Amino acid sequence: MLPIRAVIFDLDGTLADTAGEIADALARSFAEFGLAALPEAAVREMIGRGVAALVERALQRLGSGVAAGAVVARFEHHYAQTVGTAAGLYPSVRDGLARLAARKLPLAVVTNKPRCFTDRLLDRLQIRAAFAAVVAGDDGWPKKPAGDMIVAACTQMASRVEETLMLGDSANDVLAARAAGCPVWCVPYGYNEGRPIESLGCDRIVTSIDEAAALVLAAA
């Protein structure tokens, strides 16, 4: 593996624990259609493929015939009110970002979350300034697991793909990194659809963002 000159992060499940507020917005949306709320643990296993996929999978779990498009619209309404209100950074994320920034490594976020929610979440978590690039799910690129969003982030950072590390928590992140041609490490605490992290075939499993930062800088 070449020296790492830039780092890309997934957002939900890697930098921030957002499952609670996502489950809350989904429950509020379902209530408008007379549907039962799903447990947060079930919602955690559906996060990562974007809003439409989340809603469709949740409706399938309930066996509901309600049109997904109508629920998506209500979810976006409710999530706009809750995004960033209950989410928090995972332990050591802020330290890891600061460690990398101090060495002036370009950093980026690549997420399937829509732009409006992504920007609001990063602002409310007070980490937006850490990133040279943010590529969101509705920016016009094919979403992860395609590799296009990673390549777009590398272009914005002026970094070579093969020298850019993807840090994520799910199969989507690993597949996207493989498609783009960059190394990929995973954290074990995210939203990997209930699958063990060891099953993903990433290049390395790290316990935290701060550990990843220390390893990257030690090899630089």
Of 10, 12, 24, 148, which one is the catalytic site residue?
Answer: 10
Q: How many CB atoms lie within 10 A of CB 74?
A: 18
Compute the distance between CA of residue 204 and CA of residue 74 in angstroms, rounded to an integer: 39
Within a 10 A sphere around the Cβ of 97, how many other Cβ atoms? 22
With residues binned 3-state (H G I as helix, E B as strand, rest as coil), the percentages for the chain, rounded to 5, are 50, 10, 40
For residue 220, give the amino acid letter: A
CA dihedral 86, 92, 96, 99 (to 10 degrees): 120
Query: In the annotation, is 10 catalytic?
Result: yes
Rounded Cα–Cα distance for residues 188 and 211 (Å): 12
Query: Active-site residues: which are they?
Result: 10
